[in-house]
Amino acid sequence: MDNYSELINLMRPAMLIPLFPLLGFLIIAFFGKSLKHFSGWIACLSILASFFCSLYLFINLSSNQKLDFTVFEWIRWGDINLSFGLLVDPLTIVMLLVITGIGFLIHVYSIGYMHTDEGFSRFFSYLNLFIFFMLILVMGNSYLIMFIGWEGVGLCSYLLIGFWFKNQAFNNAAKKAFIMNRIGDLGFLIGMFFMLHYFGGLDYNLVFSAAQSHPKGSTLLVTITLLLFIGAMGKSAQIPLYTWLPDAMAGPTPVSALIHAATMVTAGIYMICRSGVLFALAPQTLEVVLIVGVATSLFAAIIGLKQNDIKKVLAYSTVSQLGLMFVALGLGAFSSGMFHVVTHAFFKALLFLGAGSVIHAMGGEQDIRNMGGLKKYIKITYITFIIGTLAISGIFPFAGFFSKDEILAASFAEYKLVWILMSFSSMLTAFYMFRLYFLTFSNNFRGTQDQQHHLHESPATMTIPLIVLAFLSVIGGLLGLPVVMSHTHLFSQYLEPVFEVSKNIIGAQHNLAHRTEWVLMGVATLAAIASVFVAYNLYISKKILPEPDADVKGFTKWVANKFYVDEFYNKVFVRPVMVMSDIFFVLIDKLFIDLFVNAVAWIVGFTGRTMRLVQTGNTRFYIFAMVIGIIILLYCQLVHPFLNVYFN
Amino acid sequence: MEQLEQHANPQSWYLVLSTILFSIGVMGVLFRRNAIIILMCIELMLNSVNLLLVSFSAYSGNSDGQVFVFFIMVVAAAEVAVGLALLVSIYRNVASTDIDVLSKLKW
Amino acid sequence: MNSQIIFFILSSLSLVSALFVVFSKNPIYSVMWLIVCFISIFGHYLMLNAQFLAIIHLIVYAGAIMVLMLFTVMLLNLNKESEPHKSPLPKVAAIISGGLLLLVLLAAMHSGSLPGYISPDLTDTGYVQKVGIKIFTDFLLPFEMTSILFIAAMIGAVVLAKKEKH
């Protein structure tokens, strides 16, 4: 009973968490014009308030408890009762802390970054709206609520990618992201319909308990999980729906950091973790997830090697890292996947914000071939950026090392081939990240005189978040020290109650001997250092510069042009649709619909033109017509008494 | 019934009378082209209706009909005031009250 | 017996005067005949024991409205045969349709039947007191509305008839 009332007391802060950003959004959306630059601080405050509420929940809710309550009844129809409810358990809390914590830092950063932008208030209203939807996504207690957030963040992503809507290319990128996401969303939606039909509801509790009555690997469960995974593919940019993410870099850099690196794109991973029970019951789907994850991770890493836009490199590395997370999920190591989500959020946000700071210093220049030697000019950005690079490359003892190592160890235990491929992908990551770093910060400045003159360190609102994130990237690994280093793995222990059921279903995992784990760590570190060395050799010692776009040849050209996937999609999917719509336009629209509509319009027009002649303007004629009408009416009533029925 | 026959005329007489008056009014509206006389014919029609209402009221012993007539008179007075003012202003513009001339209001 | 004679005299007077209203060439005569018609209707009201309305009718119609008409006719200088002869077709049509309307209306009335009534001589429905109580209880709101209507009509008439100064 005590326990119960304690949980009741936690309901209010839980409900407040999404409400603060919503309030911030409404205030800024309606009064943004008059608030001017004050709106940035309002946005920050609302996120900070949510962060403290999340922290309160984190402290007061022990890891084996969960808060699951209905806020209001929503749709009641037959036996199906869809209510708006919230669920707070360790998994949610982890996401909440990441979203509000990193979200707050990025908000603060944006104040500095967007300072001179004319859409300052608009930017913050979108950002707050995004946080609101993201919180709804992770806090919902049913797939329906998650879907609301899912669509909402998609919308905000669209709005923010196309934030500078005067540039048509940016608008196209926004549309691309939106449409690609819709393909995934359709999968999610159909999956929901399946659940509604076969399980009779969408609440997690209901769905999971109903699913467990089906045999493991049954067609129904595989179908549902595959459909859900299609949704995850779209949102988390996996092959084949990944091409929108690199284009999404058209948005302002804080958006790239918040939405397209740290939070929204991990929604797919969150969704699969949340539906761990379903996926555990469908091992075939897990294999698909694994394959897609491996393929995406490698593919994106290879493309990342030859990108010259600072944000594009980071975008492909994000795709690659998301692939790595899916590998973890595919192996059934849900908590490892989540752990990588958290550490990745730290260092990728850091890298993006660092890149933003670089772009800020360079006055909008994004091509790394025109940078170089920046470490002299922007010290803080430089130091934090190198920390982020070390973290993502998986070098001990930075955050990325631990989370990556966990996934690699899991893959080694299950499939050796996956381990080899993922290790290779990690090496590539280390290589292109250091390539990026060397080209940007080392050697001499390659930009114009003007740019060199303009170089300056960003304001404190931008550097402080960088420092905080750098700090987190360094110590983030301590959250999940592997068992070989300390006696408990804090992170997976915290999440254990959430994944207990799915773990039992999957069955015992292979456990590696401690010695093997040490070896694996050593190998991973060595591989990373080796690729760093290669990068150093190429870009510092030999001072090789990536050639201009025109001079690229052969396989490199393929890579630099992202294997022509966009062009392929254009030819195979976009063009046929365009051609088809052209045909339909001519055949159906022009011939049939227009004919019909025009005919109706013509008939109406003709009748009007004809009847117009009755209006002569002669008053006597009108009166005469009226009298005749009265006479006819009365006459009819006299002759046909049955009309009396209507008259009486 | 006998009393009624002794003291008063049958009500149908009033019906016939007001019907004929109304028809004369309608015919006048159609017959004449002078707007003032048309207005007068409209007054005639209104009066025939008034007469009918009063007769019904009187024969049924209920005053409601007479109140209606009172309101009709009010409306008629207002109508005549506005109608004549309109006529005056039209006459100033086209120097005629012939409704065949006033046929510009169309389409 | 007397009432019948009075009714017939009044009726024929009102019908004849109504016809003269329509057929007089001179608008002034029309106005005059209309006044005669109204006075005959005043007589009908008295016959129906509706004294209040009879007086109101006399004041409003024969007094106010007809004076207004007369003034207008004189103001516009219409006291002459103002209608040039045109084709007789509309006039024939007017007479025919008026007659048809009368026929149809009478036929319609013929097919109906009136319920039994009490003699108007024996009731006090038309007394000022009765009508007044009705107006100030059941019909109070419409009664008040008429004042607004009058204000509107007054202002409207003044605005319309005012000479525009250019």
Residue A563 in this model has a pLDDT that exceeds 80: no
Inside any domain, residue C114: no
Q: Which residues in chain B are contacts of A620 at CB distance < 8 A?
A: 30, 33, 99-100
Alpha-carbon Rg of chain A, whole angstroms?
A: 30
d(CA C85, CA C83): 6
Per-residue pLDDT, averaged over C133-157, amounts to: 92
User: Could you say which of C61, C78, C95 is where a domain stops?
Assistant: C78
pLDDT digits (tens, 9 = 90+) for A285-310: 999 999 999 999 999 999 888 888 88
Inside any domain, residue C43: yes
Inside any domain, residue B8: no
Task: Tell if the pTM clears 0.95, that is, is over it.
Answer: no
CA angle A594, A596, A599 (to 5 degrees): 100
d(CA A397, CA A414): 25
pLDDT digits (tens, 9 = 90+) for C33-87: 999 999 999 999 988 888 899 999 999 988 889 998 888 888 887 655 555 666 7
Q: Among C86, C100, C103, which would you mutate to test the A interface (most chain A Cβ atoms within 10 Å of its Cβ)?
A: C100
pLDDT for C85 equals: 65
Of residues A624, A627, A638, nearest to C108 (C-beta): A638
pLDDT digits (tens, 9 = 90+) for A249-284: 888 888 888 888 888 888 999 999 998 888 888 888
Residue B1 in this model has a pLDDT that exceeds 60: no
Q: Is C17 exposed, middle or buried (0-12, 13-18, 19+ CB in 10 A)?
A: buried
d(CA A612, CA B107): 6
CB-CB under 8 Å, C111 with A627: no
d(CA A401, CA A403): 6
Residue A100 in this model has a pLDDT that exceeds 60: yes
Q: What is the mean pLDDT of chain A?
A: 86
Could you write out the three-class secondary structure of A224-250? HHHHHHHHHHHHCCCCCCCCHHHHHHH
The answer, for B16 touching chain C at a CB cutoff of 8 Å, is yes
- Across A226-230, A517-521, C109-113, least confident range: C109-113
Inside any domain, residue C111: no
Of residues A620, A624, A635, nearest to C104 (C-beta): A635
Provide the shortest C-alpha distance from residue B95 to chain C (in Å).
9
Number of domains in chain C: 2
ipTM of the complex: 0.87
- The sign of the torsion formed by the CA atoms of A523, A528, A532, A538 equals positive
Question: From B38, which residue of chain A is nearest by alpha-carbon distance?
Answer: A620
Q: Is A402 exposed, middle or buried (0-12, 13-18, 19+ CB in 10 A)?
A: buried
CA B47 to chain centre: 4
Task: Pick the closest to residue A318 from A210, A407, A244 (CA basis).
Answer: A244
CB-CB under 8 Å, B71 with C118: no
Where are the domains positioned within chain A? 1-179+241-264, 293-560, 614-648
pLDDT digits (tens, 9 = 90+) for A533-546: 888 888 888 877 77
Q: Is A415 helix (H, G, I), strand (E, B) or coil?
A: coil
Per-residue pLDDT, averaged over A431-446, amounts to: 86
E strand segments, A519-641: none
CB-CB under 8 Å, C101 with A627: yes
CB-CB under 8 Å, A620 with B104: no
A507: phi then psi, degrees, rounded to nearest 5: 95, 180
Read off the pLDDT band of A474 (50, 70, 90): confident
Chains that touch B (3 or more CB pairs under 8 A): A, C
Inside any domain, residue B71: yes
Tokens at C130, concatenated = 């009765």
Per-residue pLDDT, averaged over A573-597, amounts to: 88
How many Cα atoms occupy the beta-carbon half-sphere of C70 within 13 Å? 13
The answer, for C74 touching chain B at a CB cutoff of 8 Å, is no
d(CA A561, CA A552): 10
pLDDT digits (tens, 9 = 90+) for A74-98: 888 777 788 888 999 889 999 999 9
The answer, for B103 touching chain C at a CB cutoff of 8 Å, is no
CB-CB under 8 Å, C93 with A631: no
pLDDT for B2 equals: 44
pLDDT for B4 equals: 46
Provide the shortest C-alpha distance from residue C79 to chain B (in Å).
11
Q: Give me the CATH number covering residue C38.
A: 1.20.120.1200
* C65 and C138 co-located in one domain: no
pLDDT digits (tens, 9 = 90+) for B12-56: 888 899 999 999 999 999 888 888 899 999 999 999 999 999 988
CB-CB under 8 Å, B11 with C105: no
CB-CB under 8 Å, B29 with A615: no
Number of domains in chain B: 1
pLDDT for C79 equals: 57
As a whole-number percent, the residues of chain A with pLDDT over 90 amount to 26
Read off the pLDDT band of A229 (50, 70, 90): very high
Of residues A615, A620, A623, nearest to B106 (C-beta): A615
Read off the pLDDT band of B5 (50, 70, 90): very low
Of residues A620, A628, A634, nearest to C108 (C-beta): A634
Inside any domain, residue B91: yes
Question: Using an 8 Å Cβ cutoff, are C20 and C33 in contact?
Answer: yes
Chains that touch C (3 or more CB pairs under 8 A): A, B
- A86: DSSP letter: E
Output A603 or A474, whichever has higher pLDDT.
A603
Inside any domain, residue B23: no
Residue C166 in this model has a pLDDT that exceeds 70: no
Tokens at A572, concatenated = 């195979």
Inside any domain, residue C116: no
Inside any domain, residue B12: no
Q: Which residues in chain A are contacts of B106 at CB distance < 8 A?
A: 615-617
Inside any domain, residue B89: yes
Of residues B30, B100, B104, nearest to A623 (C-beta): B30
Residue A1 in this model has a pLDDT that exceeds 50: no
CB-CB under 8 Å, C109 with B85: no
d(CA B73, CA B62): 19
Residue A517 in this model has a pLDDT that exceeds 70: yes
Per-residue pLDDT, averaged over A198-211, amounts to: 87
pLDDT for A507 equals: 75
Q: Which residues in chain B are contacts of C138 at CB distance < 8 A?
A: 64, 67
Residue A190 in this model has a pLDDT that exceeds 90: yes
* C1 and C73 co-located in one domain: yes
Provide the shortest C-alpha distance from residue B83 to chain C (in Å).
8
Q: Which residues in chain A are contacts of B104 at CB distance < 8 A?
A: 617
pLDDT for C41 equals: 93
Residue A106 in this model has a pLDDT that exceeds 50: yes
Place of tokens 């000479």: C163
CA A558 to chain centre: 27
Of residues B29, B30, B106, nearest to A617 (C-beta): B106
Q: Give me the CATH number covering residue B53.
A: 1.10.287.3510
